Amino acid sequence: MKFRVRSLPNILILPVLMIGLTACSIFVPKEPETAVPKQALPAQPPMVAKLDLVQSSTGARLTPKGDMAASPARVGLSGADEIQANSPIVQAAERHPDVQAQLGKRYFFINAQPVRSNDRFCPSALPVASGQPATRLPLSRLTYYSYSRTAAVIVCMQALEFVNLAAVPKGYQPPESDSEEADAIRVARLDARIQDKVKNLEAHVILTDPEWRLWWWNREGYGHRVFHVTFSQPGSGDPQYYAVVDLSEELDPDKVRQAGAEPSR
């Protein structure tokens, strides 16, 4: 039997490395810990602020109330943070020619709400000349989805006065509207594959986001408003049937891309 004898340099490498690492740990000075002043806990825990929620007109969604300031300029508000589709603000916006041109013939109203300080689309203060104080304006932001242009449309309003159309990034998809949900459910219920099975079932809708891939390999419905509709027994929340509805083309006979029994889990 033969034994392999390691060379002397290889044998000495490991102890030298260990000595070097030990020396580094000894001579490198440690930074002092940051002194954090300690405070006694309060005798009584603070009261938790109640989160008030606003229910949409159809009961489909609950949204938190915002920090809107009470102002007579907020025409159309009645204590709730959500501005309804038939409010004077919405009607005034839709009468403006610039808004009409952007919306086209077919569109859905998504929502309208007071502008917050960090709103990404409608500023809470308009730019003013140099040296002049900025005037904060009580603005409202109205969101639409134009099926005529396949694009979101966002309108900034000051009370009943049109301010401007916000710059919306290409491909931006706003949340689904109550009207879109109702239309997607209606279309799904009419599909021959599930029509007889979902008559007495409860429907739920979510907006999907078909992904971008490469050229013609994009997922079906990419860039469209595509809704996933599920049907279940009332109160159960356990989907039994589903339908994938593309509302982008009004006259498309194949709006329901997929439909059938929900896959077992």
Q: Are 245 and 227 in contact (CB under 8 A)?
A: yes
pTM: 0.62
As a whole number of angstroms, the distance between CA 144 and CA 164 comes to: 14
For residue 211, what pLDDT is reported?
57
For residue 147, what pLDDT is reported?
92
What are the residues whose beta carbons fall under 8 Å from the beta carbon of 219, sequence distance 6 or more? 210, 211, 212, 213
Helices then strands, each counted (H, E), the chain: 4, 10
Helix residue ranges per DSSP H, the chain: 8-27, 88-95, 97-103, 178-189
Phi, psi of 163 (to 5 degrees): -100, -60
Helix residue ranges per DSSP H, 134-231: 178-189
Q: How far is CA 235 from the centre of its chain?
A: 26
Nearest to 103 by CA among 150, 166, 62: 150
Residue 54, token pair as written in the block: 């606003």
Q: How far is CA 161 from the centre of its chain?
A: 27
pLDDT by 10s per residue, the chain, length 265: 554 545 555 555 666 666 666 655 555 556 667 677 777 777 776 666 666 665 554 445 555 555 443 333 344 444 445 688 889 999 999 999 999 999 999 999 999 988 887 788 987 655 555 665 555 565 899 999 999 998 999 999 998 999 999 999 988 889 999 999 999 999 999 999 999 999 999 999 999 876 555 555 545 556 678 899 999 998 887 899 999 998 887 766 678 878 889 877 6
Q: Are 116 and 181 in contact (CB under 8 A)?
A: no
Sole residue written with tokens 């990404």 = 120
For residue 68, what pLDDT is reported?
40
